[in-house]
Amino acid sequence: MNNPEVLIIDDESQIRRLLEITMESNDYAVVSAPSAKEGLRIAASHPPDLVILDLGLPDENGHRVLEKLREWYTRPIIILSVQSNEEDIVRALDNGANDYLIKPFRTGELLARIRSVLRNPTSSNGHAVIDCNELQIDLAGRTVKKNDELVKLTSTEYSLLALLAQHEGKVLTHQYLLREVWGPGFINQSQYLRVFIAQLRKKIEIDPNRPAHILTESGVGYRFVARE
Amino acid sequence: MPAFVLLLAVSLIAVIFDIIPVLLAALLSALTWDFFFIPPRFTFRVTSAEDALLLLMYFVIALINSILTHRIRRFEKLARQKEEKANTIKLYNTLLNSLSHELKTPLATIVGAADNLLNEPRRLSDVNKRNLVVEISMASLRLNRQVENLLSMSRLESGFIQPKKDWCDINEMIYAVVNRLEANLKNYDLKIMIEENLPLYKLDYGLIEQVLYNLVYNATIYTPEFSELYIIAKNNSNRIYQLDPDDTMQSRIARENDYLTLIIEDRGPGFPEDELEKVFDKFYRLKNSKTGGTGLGLSIVKGFVEAHRGIVILENVPHGARFTIEIPTEVSYIKNLKNE
């Protein structure tokens, strides 16, 4: 299998160097662009397997670049942002970004996000059982086992868990979860989400106060992690 | 007699208004005096030389009076501006001192460690190479924390903070902070007491999480290891602390019935009584406090809590200090309903 190709669009040469070194030493092929214009040109002439896009570019707003890319580019895009401005991040995720990282980010986190977005989505759907160490989620049988014991979930709890688990490693926004599980009329009813996440954690996590699977992304959403 | 009343009026005007209205008032008052009181009355004519002299003298006195008053005001204003400027400079210097220390220490570590790794890679043992890298990593995180604090402070200063309120699970928030501070807390006897069936609260999760983080982080910096540290969360239908009766906020707060109360209590040395009030001031650092810290943490706590129209109270308790935060907010008891 060929090494996956990653396109980095960031105007800061230090960040580009850092990303290049990190990714080349983890067997990715890297191309980088210092501006939106250059980035869009490279992406169009030679579509990469993944785009890492900085939101703060000098020549064009990163959100606009994201929209332009999403007009035709279907593979994963990870957003880099300097501020932890939740609205900005939610907007980028709603506009088709697959994930985000806030500068300064840890290398381990970056690589985990890349692995997660590059994982072939059809193959994970093909697996009827999502296996996360002590926890097994059987999507075909709609059952969940913790330490080989059946966990009793209500149907809403199950839908929420299945949705999160099917997008393993990806952050799902509050609005997305509310719309998919409860319906479009509920996108502002975040209190339901809080309550059901708390209940799910009590049932599936070993220590609900130190969740290992359902992680909170403050102000943005939740992320399901199968194993550390 | 009427001349004195008029003079008084001119002086009062001089205290309140600018130079042009004051000169106008002096002129008008002289004319008024002439018109009403200098015979022949109800005309502007002055018949005797004595009256003319009196009128002229009055006019000059009124002018001098008004100009002097105006000058005094200007001097006072200048003195005030000078004092304000001096205060600003003092604050600025305090800021620069604490900032340059807080930012330059990690920077010096990073620059020095990187130099060592670049210039003498062969002379360094593997253990020392690794140690230098660990130092770089720790210094960068410290630098990042200071920059975050400065950004929070400037957001507060610009009046830009608008809490984005959404339903928050306080239990989750407290454990998120505790987990983030795991390394700092591992040698403390941490006791978390969260009221059973605590409702959901409508708060800005990020801001209140930062408040908790700053308070717990401070406790781990300034209190001895292996001491007890309490994090308490409870709901209050009536607030414990009453606001100042003439505080305009009270009438607005009184309409909301539920308060989230968060208490962070430690078993450290407490705060000097005469400094209890000042610790929330920007860049204020306790006398005799150890180096490190910018004096921003607690002012950010206060700013973020006040952005929620809440209050934060610091008091000494036997064997320690207690921070109490009260935030008026909407609550949701949906948590306690049987679902589905």
Q: What pLDDT does B335 receive?
A: 53
- Closest Cα partner for A3 from A49, A46, A39, A51? A49
B243, pLDDT greater than 70: no
Of the partner residues A154, A209, A219, the one whose CB lies closest to the CB of residue B175: A209
Nearest to A218 among B144, B209, B340 (CB): B209
The dotted CATH code for A122-224 is 1.10.10.10
Counted residue by residue, chain A has a size of 228
- CA angle (B211 as vertex; B254, B264 as ends), nearest 5: 85
Partner-chain contact B166 A198, CB within 8 Å: no
- Per-residue confidence (pLDDT) for residue B49, from 0 to 100: 81
pLDDT of B241 > 60? The answer is no
Return the residue of B nearest to A182 by Cα: B340
Inspect the interface and report whether the beta carbons of B179 and A190 lie closer than 8 Å. Answer: no
The reply to whether residue B339 touches residue A87, judged by beta carbons under 8 angstroms, is: no
Contact map slice: A 198-227 vs B, CB within 8 A:
198-199, 209-210, 216, 218-219
Domain with CATH 3.30.565.10 in chain B: 166-336
Top-confidence range, A34-43, B75-84, B255-264: A34-43
Average of per-residue pLDDT across B310-327: 93
**B156-203 pLDDT, tens digit each:** 877 777 888 899 999 999 999 999 999 999 999 999 999 988 999 999
CATH number for domain B1-160, candidates 3.40.50.11610, 1.10.287.130, 3.90.1150.10, 2.40.170.20 = 1.10.287.130
Alpha carbon distance B26, B66 (integer Å): 8
Q: Is the pLDDT at B332 greater than 90, yes or no? A: no
pLDDT on residue A128: 78
A11 touches chain B (CB under 8 A): no
Res. B340 pLDDT band, cuts 50 70 90: very low
Name the amino acid, one letter, at B24: L
Smallest CA–CA separation between A104 and chain B, in Å?
Answer: 8
Q: Which residues of A touch B171 (CB under 8 A)?
A: 198, 209
Nearest to B334 among A87, A156, A195 (CB): A195
In B186-332, where does DSSP find H-type helix?
205-222, 249-253, 297-307
A32/A13 Cα distance (integer angstroms): 10
What pLDDT is recorded for position B178? 95
Q: A198, exposed or middle or buried, with CB in 10 Å at 0-12, 13-18, 19+?
A: middle
Question: What confidence score (pLDDT) does residue A215 get?
Answer: 94
Task: Give the closest of B169, B175, B340 to A154, CB-based.
Answer: B340
Q: CB B339 to CB A86 under 8 A? A: no
Among B173, B178, B191, B200, the residue to mutate for chain A (most A Cβ within 10 A) = B200
Angle B42-B45-B49 from CA coordinates, rounded to 5°? 125
- CB of A14 within 8 Å of any CB in chain B? no
Query: From the CA of B323, how many Å to the nearest CA of chain A?
Result: 23
| A84 and chain B in contact, CB less than 8 A | yes
* Per-residue pLDDT, A228: 61
Note whether A5-118 and A122-224 share their fold.
no
Among A155, A156, A210, the residue with its CB nearest the CB of B179 is A210
Task: Name the DSSP class of A226.
Answer: S
Q: Contact B205/A218, CB-based, under 8 Å? A: yes
Tell me the C-alpha distance between B264 and B233, whole Å.
9
Rounded Cα gap, residues B313 and B324, in angstroms: 5
- Domain residue ranges of chain A, discontinuous segments joined by +: 5-118, 122-224
Number of CB atoms found within 10 A of residue A119's CB? 13
Q: Which of these, B173, B179, B175, lies nearest to B206 by C-alpha position?
A: B173
B44: tokens are: 């502007």
Q: Across chain A, which distance is largest between two alpha carbons, in Å? A: 56
* Interface A-B: count of C-beta contacts within 8 A: 54
CATH number for the domain running over A5-118: 3.40.50.2300
Kindly give the interhelix angle for B126-157 and B297-307, rounded to the nearest 10 degrees: 40
> Domain spanning B166-336 has what CATH number?
3.30.565.10
Residues of A within 8 A of B172 (CB-CB) are 194, 197-198, 216
pTM, two decimal places:
0.73
Q: Cβ of A155 and B340 within 8 Å?
A: yes
Task: Answer yes or no: do B335 and A190 touch at CB < 8 A.
Answer: no
For B169, the closest chain A residue by CA position comes to: A194
Name every chain B residue with its beta carbon within 8 A of the beta carbon of A155.
340
